[in-house]
Amino acid sequence: MTKVSIYFIRHGIAADRAGYDRDGDRPLTEEGHKKTKKIARKLNHLGLKFDLVQHSPLVRAKQTAAIFAEQGYPIAQSEYLAPEGDFQKWLDWFRNWQESGISPGINGGGRSDLSLGLIGHEPDLSAWAEVLLWGEVRSVLVLKKAGIIGLAVPEPETPIANSLLFMLIPPKILL
Amino acid sequence: MTKVSIYFIRHGIAADRAGYDRDGDRPLTEEGHKKTKKIARKLNHLGLKFDLVQHSPLVRAKQTAAIFAEQGYPIAQSEYLAPEGDFQKWLDWFRNWQESGISPGINGGGRSDLSLGLIGHEPDLSAWAEVLLWGEVRSVLVLKKAGIIGLAVPEPETPIANSLLFMLIPPKILL
């Protein structure tokens, strides 16, 4: 079992719904691209390295993940991170990943701690974080586009109502 | 009544207890001075302006406040911010300050929103923040020395279990 930091990252600024039949097709705007790139670089520069970045299948989340991939992190799509995705199924995956202690990417396994990035949507991301923090959704966390929430997940037990919040960074702080 | 952002700021790195009869006499170390100064400047540069910075009477908190004062913010000592200070009495003061909508300092009153800095100690600061967020202490917020927690306090009602967390910045992000 391995200690994990989970970083919930909201996708960058995306195009308006007008012009797109499906919400999932909306891409990042030019501003969204630019700001997200700055933030991904800054986080890397600050020493935050992801062993894996999971992302929602929606275009704006995929594009956000691609920007993080430029920093050298492995990325993987997860349907659980789509809006109203299945938290329980994601948690099963997570527990398994944490137990194996093996990242499929740059670290090659056997590490004593892992960093996992989750790129998705609101209100799901902050709701997931809140369940890990205090076991229920309280809707008190404010996560802006390209903002980031950092949670420390304990080693041996369930992360639910058992994690610590060590970071909540509004995007403007990293620009 | 005025909308308020409250920033809970933990004092900078202080000297060890050895060599000081009273805990309250411990000053910031040179490293504590330097890092706190960088952080105060960075926050100012990021557009965070305080209408008032309240601080605990302990030396390490006073010195931290003096560093913030160099950025042009008015500072004021409050015994409530000492370790195990009286939250209820502080809350009475706060409600009064919020209602008056008048800062004693750089803004001169009549503002539609105010920013209040509170420089103090752990575990008190994060416990106060938690009571404002969800009405009780859960001990899930991690506030390092010279770290900062930002809460948005609503206008008309009690802030208890009624505020939003929009910021939790570990010091290394601002150095």
Chain A residues within an 8 Å CB radius of B152: 142
- Percentage, residues of chain A above pLDDT 90: 83
Instruction: Say whether B134 and A134 touch across the interface (CB within 8 A).
Output: yes
A101 pLDDT higher than 80: no
Q: What angle do CA A42, A13, A47 make, to 5 degrees?
A: 15
Instruction: Say whether A140 and B133 touch across the interface (CB within 8 A).
Output: yes
Chain A residues within an 8 Å CB radius of B164: 140-142
Chain B residues within an 8 Å CB radius of A47: 172
B102 pLDDT higher than 70: no
Give the start-end residues of each E strand in B11-162. 52-55, 75-77, 113-120, 148-153
Q: Using CA coordinates, name the residue in chain B closest to A45.
A: B173
Mean pLDDT, residues B146-150:
98
**CB proximity B175 to A under 8 Å:** no
- Per domain, the residue ranges of chain B are 3-174
- Residue by residue, DSSP assigns chain A as --EEEEEEEE---B--STT-SSGGGPPBPHHHHHHHHHHHHHHHHTT---SEEEE-SSHHHHHHHHHHHTTT--EEE-GGGSTT--HHHHHHHHHHHHHHT--SSTT-S--SEEEEEEEE-TTHHHHHHHHHHHSS----B---TT-EEEEEEPSSS-STT--EEEEEE-HHHH-
pLDDT band at residue B111 using 50, 70 and 90 as cut-offs? low
Q: How far is the alpha carbon of B80 from chain A, nearest alpha carbon, in Å?
A: 25
**CB proximity B46 to A under 8 Å:** yes
CATH number for the domain formed by residue range(s) A3-174: 3.40.50.1240
Instruction: Say whether A166 and B168 touch across the interface (CB within 8 A).
Output: yes
Q: Could you give the ipTM of this predicted complex? A: 0.92
**What is d(CA B29, CA B172) in angstroms, rounded to the nearest whole number?**
17
**CB proximity B133 to A under 8 Å:** yes
Q: Using CA coordinates, name the residue in chain B closest to A153.
A: B140
Which residue reads 């302990």 in tokens?
A: B58
What does the CA dihedral B70, B73, B77, B78 come to, rounded to 10 degrees?
Answer: -140
Radius of gyration for the alpha carbons in chain B, expressed in angstroms and rounded = 15
Chain B residues within an 8 Å CB radius of A174: 173
Model confidence over A35-91: pLDDT tens digits? 999 999 999 999 999 999 999 999 999 999 999 999 999 999 999 999 999 999 999
